[in-house]
Chains A and B, each alone.
Chain A
Amino acid sequence: GQQLNQSPQSMFIQEGEDVSMNCTSSSIFNTWLWYKQDPGEGPVLLIALYKAGELTSNGRLTAQFGITRKDSFLNISASIPSDVGIYFCAGQPLDNMRFGAGTRLTVKP
């Protein structure tokens, strides 16, 4: 079954604020991935992390692969209205990919 705990479930923020969300796992993962899903679309990859401790940025997004390999976080700086959507973490243990339940982000202009 699902092994990832993603929090928070939802966030309502003002445009310009920073956002932080995280995922924890009961087991060790070899890969952490962060996806964004726009309304009516399939998830699109934002950032991929392959090594414990790795910190990676993609524009205003920053993600880290936790040292214990059991957690990851995603930060979004200076949020804008188009950041609205559902953000999923995904992790890959030895066999198969698992997804978190998602964080629904709402940005108020």
Chain B
Amino acid sequence: EAQVTQNPRYLITVTGKKLTVTCSQNMNHEYMSWYRQDPGLGLRQIYYSMNVEVTDKGDVPEGYKVSRKEKRNFPLILESPSPNQTSLYFCASNSRWGRETEAFFGQGTRLTVV
């Protein structure tokens, strides 16, 4: 079954404690991205990757890092989380850039930073 898997689904952490949210896709997609969802703001892109070792900033990259060492994995790293990073995070992947951009989303990670 084609899917995007995020872990964990829920996470409560304290300010400043480094954390990683993992994302894995089994569809051999080149393109992967991370979004955060906040009430009234929709989905805002944090980072995206067009292929292995190719990453770029989205609209709200501050406070986040990503890496793309393998095609299937695209972890999101918060080196020093702050309360304003409390949000619902989604990872997505799609097969091609430009056409047929049906993005498959993971189930989300609800992060609370206290």
Nearest-neighbour CB distance to chain B for A67, whole angstroms, equals 20
Question: What residues on B are CB-neighbors of A102 within 8 Å?
Answer: 42
Contact between chains at B42 and A45 (CB < 8 Å): no
Contact with A along B22-50 (1 / 0, CB 8 A): 00000000000101000011111100100
Number of interface residues, chain B, beta carbon within 8 A: 24
The smallest beta-carbon distance between B60 and chain A, in angstroms, is 9
In the bound complex, what is the Cα–Cα distance between A2 and B60 (angstroms)? Answer: 10
CA distance A4 to B44 in the complex (A): 11
Count chain B CB atoms within 10 A of each CB in A40, A45, A92, A97 and give the residue with the most: A97
Q: Which 5 A-B pairs have the closest CB atoms?
A: A42-B105, A101-B42, A99-B43, A99-B42, A43-B105
Contacts from A to B (Cβ < 8 Å): 1-2, 4, 6, 9, 30-31, 33, 40-45, 48, 50, 88, 90, 92, 96-102
